[in-house]
Structure formats: C-alpha cells, structure tokens
Structure 1
Amino acid sequence: MYKKKTGYVLMRYVFTNKVWQRLLGLALPLACCLVLLLPATSEAHAILLQSDPANSAILKSPPSQVRMWFSEDLNPTFSTAQVISGADRQRVDTQDAHVPSNNSREMDLSLSANLAPGTYIVIWRTQSADDGHVLSGSFLFSVAAADGTVPQSSGAASIPNTLGAGNTGGANGQLDGPTFFSFIMVTLVELGTIFWIGAQLWRMFVPPVEQDESNIFKELRQQEERRFERSFAIPVLVITFLANLGVLIGQGLVIASGQALSLSMLLGLASNGRFGTYWTVREIIIVLALLVAIYTFLTKRRSAIINSAIAWINLLLALGLLIAMTLSGHAAATSNNILVFAVLVDWLHLLAASLWVGGMMYIATTYLPTLRGRSLQERTASLLSVLPRYSPLAITGVIIMAVSGPFNATIHMSSWEQLFSTAYGRALVVKVLLVGALLITSTIHLRIFRPRLAKDYAKYAASVEASTEVASTEATSTEMTEGGETTAKIDEDTTVDVEKEEKVSAPAEQVEQLEREVSRQATRLTKTLRWEPLLGIGVLLCTGLMNVFAGTLLPATPPPAPPPAQQTQATKPFTTTVKTTDNQFTIQLKVSPNRFGPNTFTVKVLDKNGKPDTNVGVSIYTTMLDMDMGTQTVNLQPDNQGGFNANGFLDMSGDWQIRIQIRTPDFKLHEVKVKMVTPY
C-alpha cells in the first residue's frame, strides 16, 4: 500500500515553490531585450557580399579578372566560379578560380584577354569552411563598345551551369531533391542526438525515488534502463552515425550529384575547413558512444562502479557531441566580435532542447512503457514521484530556450521583415508557434493534470486506509467467544449492526469512485506525456528547415572594406627582351599582371634574323628566390599569333627567377635566366 506521502508531498513542494516562476518571468523579458537590443549580425552560408566588377556594372574596358568577397571563410577545394559570355554561351575565364591564401573569404579568377563588348555572367559556387553549407549564385557585368553602347544578348536565363547540381532549392526556399535529402539528414542527426543526450541527462540527473518496502521503484528504474539499453541506444546511435554521413552526401549532391558517393568527394568534404574537422569529431564521438552502448547491451551484470563509470562516460560524450555540433553549425560562422557568445548560446540552446524535448522523448518511449501491466497504485505513485524529479530539468530547458532562442534569431536575421519574406523566417515563425504550443501543453499537465491527480490520489489512498481499518474493526466485533456464546444480544445489537453496515458501505463506494477518478486522470496524464513529444519533433523539423533555408537570408554584415592600395593599384606587366646564353634566339617575355597569384606567361621567340620562330617548344621554370618553395614548370602553347602563352601561379610576392627553355626540332636546348620582382 502506498501512502499519500509517496508523491503528494513532492507535488506540493514543486507547486508551492515559486522560484521557477520568478526565473521564467525574468527570462521572458530578457529574451525580448535580446531581440530588440542586440546588434544584427546575420551570417548564413557563404553569401556574396561584394564583387569587382560589381553586379550590373558597365565597364569601358574589359577587366582582366573577377574578384569576389563572401560572408564566410571558403573551402578552397569545393569553391569555384566561371564566367560565360551572354552572346555565344562560351566560357571566357581561364579556369583558374581560387581562394587566395591571404584572404579565405575571397575568390578570384582570371579572364581571357581583350573580351569583346557584350554581357558576361559570373556563376559562383561556395562551400563554407565554417558550417559546410554549399551555395551558388550569379551576377552580370557588361563591357561597352567604343561608342558606349552594350551589344544586346539573349539574357542569362538559359546560361548553362557547369559547376554541378547547384543549391537552387535551399537558396530559393524550395525543397528540391538535394535540399530535401539534406533536410532529412540534418533533422535525423538532431533528433538522434537530442534523444540520446536527453536520455543520458535523465538517467544522470533525475534522482531515483527513495526505496519503499517492496522495492517497486528500484525495479521500475532497472526496467527503464534496460529498455533503453536494449531497444533504443544502439539503433539511435547507428541512425545518427549514418545520418551524419548523409550530411556529407547531401553536400556532395549539391556540388556534383554524380560524384556524391565517391570516396574522394567524401574525404575531401571531411578533410577541409572547420566544418570538416568538427564533422569528423562528431562521427568519432558517435562511434565511441556506440561502443559503450554495445558493451552495456552485451553485459547483463555489472557492478555499481562500472555502471557509474558508464553513466559519466556517456555524459562526457554527450557534452562533447553538443560542442562538436555547435562548432560545425551556423554559430561558428558569425563575425569574430561575437563568435564566443554565439557558440556558447548555440551550445546552451542544444542543451536546453536535450533537457526538454529529449527528456520528453525519453519519457514517452522508455519510462511510460515500463508502467504497463502495473497496478493503478504503482503507476500513479511512480508518476507522482518521478515526474516532479524531472520538472527542474524541463524548467531549466524552458528558461534557457527562452533566452537563447531570440539571441540566435538576432544572429542570423537582420530585420523583422525577414520573418515573413524569407523561407528561413517563415520556418522560424512556425517553430516559435510550436514551442508556444509545447509550452502551453507542458504547463497544462504541470499545473492542472498532475496537481489534480496528486490530490485525488491522496484522497484515494486515505479512503483505502480508512476502509481497511473499518473492515478490520467489523471482523473483530463479530467474533464469537470460545464457549459458543454470542458477544451481544440480538435485540440490543440490531441498531449497532445497521450502523456498522453503513460505516463500511460508505467508504467502499467512495473508494470505488475515487479509484475510477484516479484511473481516468492517470490515463489522461499518460496520454498527454505520450503525445507531447510530437510537438518537440515538430520543433526539430523546423530547425532542419531553417538549416537548409539559411541561404535565403541576406547578410547584414557590411561589405568588406576595399582591399589595401597595394592590392588594387594597377600593376604593370613585367616585360623584358633577352638572348639565350648561346645567342641563338632572342626572347621577348611578358608576365601579366605580374602579381602574387595567377599570371599569364607570354613568350615570343625570334631567330637570328629577328623573325618569329614557331617551330620550337617553350617551357618556363619559376623559382622563388626569397624562400625555398621548389621549382614549378609551365609548358607554353602556341597562340597562333607567332607567340606562346600559358597560365601559371606565383605563390607569393618577392624575387623570382624565370628560366626560359627553348627546344628545337633537333632536340637541342637553348635557355636563359631572368630575374623579376613580383608585388602584391
């Protein structure tokens, strides 16, 4: 028999203690202040901020290169660009798109010399080195003719994009194939992580009920832990591991759908940038947690010390997994002045989701099923004893989410208008509504269902106790004496017997009525706890949509300051005329633009009579004199104009030695060395 003190005292303590209400009342105004006062610093994917030439620019003379600056650090392996003529749909860049080593947020590519007047389309694709997301876009610039007019072209609508599948869905707020796949994978990772971490927090911080004489609470806790270990731990971690791998595959689908499953593609995504590093850490932590889960599944009997060690190991792995997810997410891509705060708040937000949503998922899938088949008294006593011990965790999660959620919104959004004008904002609105519904539902069962159940269960327990005492008194009063004599006369005891019958029958009716009421309320509370996590899952679905739709936000970060003067000032190509060491050939060398980075090497070979000689082969060997960086070879090709050219790369500014080698048909080599200084 369970006394009313089993759960009622705890319930009274929870509901008479107003501390959590004060904290929640403080959190909500603070959240509003954070929304209104914190500076907007939107960072969502590597979005184009500025370009040279600028979008829609009309130039009097053709540019030699295109430079672009983005909102996040770029992964140079999978960030690229191309320039296409609007007139004949042909590429006019030299296919040397690259991220300079001195600015990881810049991408440059060279253009063919002497572009004809017309419209040109720059198509770019970026992968953020911070959060791993892939984004693509385009812009136009035009080169005017001598009379200032721009020849008409058929437009950019049908310009072919050879950069891969392209993130057209996520950037436009649509769930196309690659975007939908990424959404499913990201959501599964969050669902699995929050459920598994919520289980670890429950088992670590929800204290067990004091043991009663029948050890029923100890037995229920053991069944609950065994159910999670045998039915959920391994499957959840396996699904999370595979979904985390699916995140990389989703990025591969956006970059190049035909190579999304290639080992080289996956290794490239995992080994580049901050996202790749922390994605690998996530996978390693999941594998370690899976090994621990397999061990607990295979070992049925463990000492208390081993169980305690396993609990602490799982807790440390859970916290590490949260850190890895935060450092590979959007918060890690914010501006440096609030990077620490953004990462900390995002980590707290995930922790709060694990406490609240993860805990509710654990209740619905693991705790409640252990109560099936138990008596009404056992089920009710457990509900009224265990749930109050979880309430502090849930309330903590609510408070943290109330504060961290608006902060995250200010980080990623620049205006209230974006709540309704972007797919990210609309997903955020739905998420807020679901969180509100979840909060209302939790408040109803916390403030209404559980107090009523505790009150009626206390009456039920008292009535059962009273009924038992009355029945015991009746049995004693009707005993016969040892000699067969009755202990009361019939005439005198008639009234007493009637009074006793009324005294017994009244509590019996009351007990039966209270039992039905307790059963009804316990069933109502249980159903609420089973369906409540669905709202939490809806919240995580919205989080997944926000993840893939973050590219619909426009960055509020101001465009970067113009590059330093030495980087933008016009540099003169390096030109020189020299003779080979054997005086057989005269060589005219031109290096353009003669700047750190990609350059075009042009050579004209003149024979002894001063006439161009194209019946030779030309190679150039570049050596950095200020630092031992090895020697690079550039093989020049005929340009059908009496010369030879090719694109090469000067890895840094400073003193360079250029060795020019001429190969004649008789397999003789003629060469000369030239020194040059390359500015930035």
Structure 2
Amino acid sequence: MLYLRRYYNAGRMLGLAFPLAMLLLFFSALPAEAHAILLRSDPGKDAVLSTPPSQVSMWFSEDLNPSFSTAEVVNASNTQVDAKDSHVAANDPREMIVSLPNNLPAGVYVVVWRTQSADDGHVLRGSLRFSVAQADGTVPQVTGKVAPGTGILGGNSASDASSGQLDGSSFFSFLMVTLVDLGVVFWVGAQLWHSFVLQLHDSEAVEQQDADQRAVARFERYFALPILLLLLLANFGVLIGQGLALSSGDWGQALAPATFQGLLFHSRFGSFWILRLGVIVIALVLAAFASVVRERPRAMDSILSWLNLILSLALLTAVTLSGHAAAVSGDLQTFAIVGDWLHLLAASLWVGGMLYLSLIYLPVIRHSALPERTRILLSTLAHFSPLALAGVVIMAVSGPFNAVVHMDSFSQLITTAYGRALSVKVLLVVALLVTSAIHVLLYRPRLKKASTQYDSALSQNEAGTADEEKQVLAVAPEAKQLEQSVGQQTRRLTTVLHWEPLLGVAVLVCTGLMNVFAGSLLPAAASQTPTQQTATVKPYHGTFPTKDHQYTINLTVSPNRFGTNVFTVSVLDSKGKPDTNIGVSVYTQMLDMDMGTDAVNLQPDGKGHFSAQGDLNMGGHWQLRVEIRTPEATLHSGTVDITTPF
C-alpha cells in the first residue's frame, strides 16, 4: 500500500504539471518584448520632408518610465537642435515627444532616444534619421568627420548593457541578478522541501523522523538567515545595476538619491521591487525567530512552515512581475506572467530541491550507520522524486518555447552571444537530465536491491541460534560482501547527488547572463580591454559570394556605428568583371532582438558602385542581406553578419 500511495502521489503531481505545462506550450510562444522598442515615429524613419516638423513623436512597445526616458535631436554637425523638452505623453505612457524650433533649416537630423521600460526596468538606446529637403527638393549630404548621434545620451559608453559588453558595471548587474535567482531558487526550494517532502513523510521509523528534524534545524541555524540577507543585498544590487545602465556606468549618478527615487516611484518595476523587499524582510524576521527560539511546540513549527511557503510563493510572484513577462502587452500579459511564474517554480522544485538535498540533507545523514543511512536516503529520494519530476516536466516544456520568443532562427544560437549563452544553458539542462536519469533509473534501483538483500542477510544472522551455527557462519561472509556493495553504491549515488546541483547552478548563471543583456548579447571577445572597446570606429569592408555563387559582392559600411551609415556595394560577375546593369538593395536585420527588417535601395554612382544612406538603429550584431536584381527579373542574394559598436 505504501508504494501504491507513492505512485499515486507522483501521478497526482504529474497530473497537475502536465496541464500547466500545456498552458505554457500554447501561451509562452506568444510575442513578448524584452525592452521598450521603437515601433513607429512621426516623422517616420528616413523620411524626407518638404516642410520642417514642429516636433518628433515616437511610440514604443512598452510603457515608459518618464523619469529616465528621453530623446535628443542633433543635426549633421552633431549639435543638439531640439527644445530640450523631451517627455512621455501624459495621455499615452508609450509615446515620447520632443519639440523642435520653428523654421528648422534643411538638412539631415538624427533623433537619439533612450528608454527605460516601466515594466521590467531594462534600458535601451537607439536612433532614427529624417531629413528636411531644400527648396529644390534635394537633401544636403552628411560630410562631417563625426557621424550625427555620436556620444549622445551615453551612446559611446562601453558600460551600456545593450552594447553587449561584459565590463565592470554590466558584470555587476549580471552578478546581482544571478545571486537573486540563486537565492530565490534555493530558499523557495527549501520551503517546498519542508512542506511537501519532510512534513508529508509517512515513515514511522525513528531514525527517519530524527533525520528530518535535524535537516530543518540545520537549514534554520546555518542557511536561512545568510540566504535571505544575501537576497536582500542582491535585491539592492539589482536596483543599483538599473542605475548604472541609465547613467552609462557612472557610479556617482547611479547611487544618487534622485536615481533611486525615479526607479522606485515612477515605474511598475519599482513597485514590485518594493514588494520583493517587503517579502524578504518578513521572511528575515521569521528566520531570526526560528533561529533564536529553537524549542517550539509542534503547532508553531507547522505555522512557520506554512507562513514561509506563502512568502516563497509571494516572492516568486514579485520576481515574475518585475521581469520580462510583465512587459507583454494586452490580454496576453496574464498568461505570460503565469508562464514565467511556473518556470521559476519549476527551477525551485528541481534545482532548489537538489541544492537542499546536497547542502542540507546529505550532511545530516552522513554519520548515520550504513543500513539506516541507506534506508533514509532511499525513502527521502522517493518522496522528493515527484516534486523534481513535476519541475522537470514544466521546465522541459516551457524552456524551448520561451526561447522561441526571443530567437528568430537557429543560426542565432551560434552567431550571437545571447544565442551562445542559451546554447550552453540547453546543454547544461540536457546534462542535468542525463545525470538525473542515471541516478533515478540506474544507481537508485541497484542500491535498493542491494539494500534489500543486505537487510535480509542481517535478519538471517540475527535469527540464528546455537544449533544453526554453521548456517550463520555461512551467511556472515555474504552479509559482509553485501555491506561493502551497499556502501560502494551509496557513495556513488551521493556523489551524483552532489554533482547535480552544480549543474543547476551553472544553468542559473547562464540565465543571469541572458537576463542582464535581455536579448542584446553580442559576440564579445574576451580579450578586449575597455580601451579597445572604445577605440576609433572603423568602417566595415567585406567580400562574399551570393548563395548561388554567380556574383561576388564587395560591401562597405561607413562609419559602421549606430545611427546613419553609408552602404556601398560593387558587384562582380562570375568572370570577375564589374556588373552595373543591375539593381542593388541592402536589407538590415538586428540579430540580438526582433526589430524587423529595413530596406536600403542603393543608387548607382556611374563608377561601378551602388550606394545610399541608411540607419543601423542601435549598436549590436546585424545581418545584412544584399539583394541583386538583374534585367531578367532574377534575384541573387548574399548575407553577412557584422558587429556595429556604439
């Protein structure tokens, strides 16, 4: 009956996990944004106007924090020309407006904007270009040495996380986010253990009950307060990291009271950050009480356990509501938040549970006699397995579909640093699944079989009498051999159980990287120094064939930085001769996040080249597709990936 009850409990857990996972299957692949991305503007991108506009209006994908969302308009000489009154519209939190002076002269203008999402707190910079034509309809060309938009709103800072560089300030943000994830997963996992593994233990064995009580006491005495204090400090670190992103790595500005005030009281991110802080403080008070008052009535232990469980679920909710899921717009927001909450719960069930098993439970039973230790370990793992299995199911189903939200193609798993971090995470999860399968399907059944035989042999020895002395002597060597086998297999199993949480921690480290860069990871060279990162920008020159190898494309992008660039292409036919009787277009696509595809139609210059001005709206990893149109209306294209710095 005991085994039937365990299988029933496991089935009940799976029965709950699968419907929830199916909800994620259908709803986690719906569009979500990781930043407040520019959707449209007036004047439009690359617009050529016959009359100067009175203002620039921009509409973004998420609600904006008005304290830190701003814009500047500069001319071809990189001089600010707007009225310095950029603001978020009072009637639309996704619209930003900046006024322009009357009679703006003819020329090329670049609008540089910086947004902070009111939902998840992430910062993004970008630009758009428009032109005011002269009376004859022509537009003056940009001839200055400094490209318009250079150095505006911290755009040259290598500390900007959206540039994809893991320098000092972005590493600090990564570290804080990772510590929050680790602390939440471990602490919530411990509460789930106390409520659904230890309290529901149906064993009447004294040694089992004693081990459970000592595990709770070990967690309360040595781990609860340090974990919560670390969470408290890391939570403040996340806020400071937001300030660093806004101030382009300026620690003085990031720590200024005005920065904290703007972050906390002018965005939903700040509201839920305060909720996170409140939950942690309450949990700290309960942990301090449990640490000081160790002799408590059984009813008090039950009350503390349930209060901590409620706080752990509240903490998961607060972390989710201050993350990417809260940035999904419309009716889909609820489903996205539920999906993200379940994914974090799954990590707590699986990774947090393994951390508890390795750091709390295994040390408690380490000094028990071998037969008792084996029985306790097998019984506890049998109760933990349904929780871990529910976490595995939810995480395995939700993970790939959450990845689809941020990735447009499989090639991005290799061509972008975000994709490579995700690839490493996937490999680590696979390794974790394989390791778990080995211990559940191989090591644990072998240990259970050997332990049953060993207990049987011990029973025979204890039942022996003086008249059965020969039989007892025959059984004793067998019991000794079985004892050695049980000891060896127990050590093998516990070794695997110590390795599993290390893989889980590595998974959370990858998650921290992806969270900090929020889809903007770039292929950064680890050997680059900060000096190299801010060195003079050089134009891109590249030669590559079309997919059908009928043409060779020579492409130049100058100056190759975020903002306005000149795209120049020359085309050689299969015989290596220049071909000018064609049409050429360049299609630009940001690989680090979904910003759509823009087209730049190149014009012949009469010297065998085709060129035109176009925008790369932010620093990052871009894919350029050059399309060649022949007089016979056939299309030939080739693609190349480039890295564009700020």
Interval of TM-score (by shorter of Structure 1 and Structure 2): 0.7 to 0.9
Count residues with an aligned counterpart.
521
Mapping for residues 637-652 of structure 1, pairs under 5 Å: none
Deviations 1:317-343 (A, max 9, x none): 111111111111111111213111111
Aligned-partner SS, 2:178: helix
Match of 2:369 in 1: 375
Residue of 430, 452, 461 corresponding to 1:458: 452
Question: What amino acid maps onto 2:441 in structure 1?
Answer: R
Deviations 1:247-306 (A, max 9, x none): 110011111223111222112201111111111100000000001000111112111111
Aligned-partner SS, 2:103: coil
Verify the 8 A CA contact 1:252 1:259 in the aligned structure 2.
yes
Verify the 8 A CA contact 2:131 2:139 in the aligned structure 1.
no
Distance 1:165 1:97, change over 3 A: same
Distance 1:157 1:525, change over 3 A: farther
Q: Does 1:545 align with 2:513?
A: yes
Mapping for residues 484-633 of structure 1, pairs under 5 Å: 500-501=469-470, 503-552=471-520, 553-555=592-594
Q: Does 1:70 align with 2:60?
A: yes
Match of 1:385 in 2: 379
Aligned-partner SS, 1:92: coil
Verify the 8 A CA contact 2:72 2:80 in the aligned structure 1.
yes
Aligned-partner SS, 2:88: coil
Q: Does 1:105 align with 2:87?
A: no
Residue of 323, 339, 343 corresponding to 2:337: 343
Distance 1:417 1:172, change over 3 A: farther
TM-score w.r.t. the length of structure 2 is 0.75
Mapping for residues 7-46 of structure 1, pairs under 5 Å: 19=11, 34=26, 40-46=30-36
Q: Does 1:248 align with 2:239?
A: yes
- Cα deviation, residue 314, structure 1: 0.5
Match of 2:181 in 1: 190
Match of 2:526 in 1: none
Distance 1:17 1:337, change over 3 A: closer
Distance 1:412 1:204, change over 3 A: same
**294-303 or 426-435: which moved more?**
426-435
Distance 1:22 1:329, change over 3 A: closer
Verify the 8 A CA contact 1:119 1:141 in the aligned structure 2.
yes
Deviations 1:61-108 (A, max 9, x none): 332211111111000011011112222x32111110000011111111
Verify the 8 A CA contact 1:414 1:556 in the aligned structure 2.
no
Match of 1:429 in 2: 423
TM-score w.r.t. the length of structure 1 is 0.71
Distance 1:248 1:371, change over 3 A: same
Deviations 1:391-435 (A, max 9, x none): 111111112223332443344445555444444333333222222
Verify the 8 A CA contact 2:192 2:309 in the aligned structure 1.
yes
Residue of 281, 291, 304 corresponding to 1:297: 291
Deviations 1:138-193 (A, max 9, x none): 23223333341313333527722245886865324332333222111111111101
Q: Does 1:139 align with 2:128?
A: yes
Match of 1:362 in 2: 356
Q: Does 1:114 align with 2:103?
A: yes
Question: What amino acid maps onto 2:56 in structure 1?
Answer: V
- Cα deviation, residue 40, structure 1: 4.2
Match of 2:572 in 1: none
Match of 1:81 in 2: 71
Q: % of aligned pairs identical?
A: 50
Question: What amino acid maps onto 1:76 in structure 2?
Answer: P
Match of 1:156 in 2: 147
Q: Distance in 1 between matches of 2:3 and 2:157?
A: 56
Q: Distance in 1 between matches of 2:410 and 2:325?
A: 20
Verify the 8 A CA contact 2:125 2:155 in the aligned structure 1.
no
Deviations 1:520-560 (A, max 9, x none): 1100111111110011111111211221222434347999x
Aligned-partner SS, 1:146: coil
Aligned-partner SS, 1:139: strand
Aligned-partner SS, 1:206: helix
Q: Distance in 2 between matches of 1:308 and 1:145?
A: 79
Q: Does 1:126 align with 2:120?
A: no
Question: What amino acid maps onto 1:114 in structure 2?
Answer: N
Question: What amino acid maps onto 1:72 in structure 2?
Answer: E
Q: Does 1:49 align with 2:43?
A: no
Q: Distance in 2 between matches of 1:296 and 1:410?
A: 44
Aligned-partner SS, 1:532: helix
- Cα deviation, residue 29, structure 1: 10
Question: What amino acid maps onto 2:499 in structure 1?
Answer: W
Match of 1:175 in 2: 166
Q: Distance in 2 between matches of 1:159 and 1:507?
A: 85
Verify the 8 A CA contact 1:64 1:113 in the aligned structure 2.
yes
Residue of 282, 291, 302 corresponding to 1:308: 302
Structure 1 residues not aligned, in runs of 5+: 1-8, 478-499, 560-680
Q: Does 1:284 align with 2:278?
A: yes
> Which structure has the larger Rg over C-alpha atoms?
1
Question: What amino acid maps onto 1:469 in structure 2?
Answer: A
Match of 2:219 in 1: 228
Q: Distance in 2 between matches of 1:309 and 1:17?
A: 23
Verify the 8 A CA contact 1:80 1:125 in the aligned structure 2.
yes
Verify the 8 A CA contact 1:164 1:255 in the aligned structure 2.
no
Q: Distance in 2 between matches of 1:549 and 1:13?
A: 46
Question: What amino acid maps onto 1:356 in structure 2?
Answer: W
Aligned-partner SS, 1:373: coil
Match of 1:491 in 2: none
- Cα deviation, residue 512, structure 1: 1.2
Verify the 8 A CA contact 2:74 2:148 in the aligned structure 1.
no
- Cα deviation, residue 211, structure 1: 5.4
